[in-house]
Amino acid sequence: MPEIKLDAVDAAELAEILQFLSQWLAQDPARLGDSFGEFVGHPAYGLNELRGDLERFVFLLGGSDGEHLFGPPSPSPPRPQHPGETGPGPEGLQ
């Protein structure tokens, strides 16, 4: 297989557009899923599989740490901690 070199800036831009597409696909899966299903023509490859592939490419390009690829998907990103905070925020202490 021939070697392909990709400039770091180009890799970052490619990772960003792949993330953009993945997030767009997640916005309205019912409507986009029907259209994508018609385009692909087989139920074995749907939006979830496409988004997974996009996220793997992002990881391979160095655009993410890939943490979400190796476990169950989280419904939302974790809340950022304030400086000096070491544990969960007030909502986690109930």
pLDDT tens track for 47-67: 999 999 999 999 988 888 777
Average pLDDT over the chain reads: 81
* Residue 94 confidence (pLDDT): 44
Whether residue 47 contacts residue 22, with contact meaning beta carbons closer than 8 Å, is answered with no
State how far the Cα of 55 lies from the Cα of 59, in Å rounded to an integer.
Answer: 6
State how far the Cα of 61 lies from the Cα of 6, in Å rounded to an integer.
Answer: 9
Whether residue 37 contacts residue 43, with contact meaning beta carbons closer than 8 Å, is answered with yes
This prediction's pTM = 0.65
Q: Kindly list the domain boundaries of the chain, sorted by start residue.
A: 1-68
Task: Give the contacts of 33 (CB within 8 A, at least 6 positions apart).
Answer: 46, 47
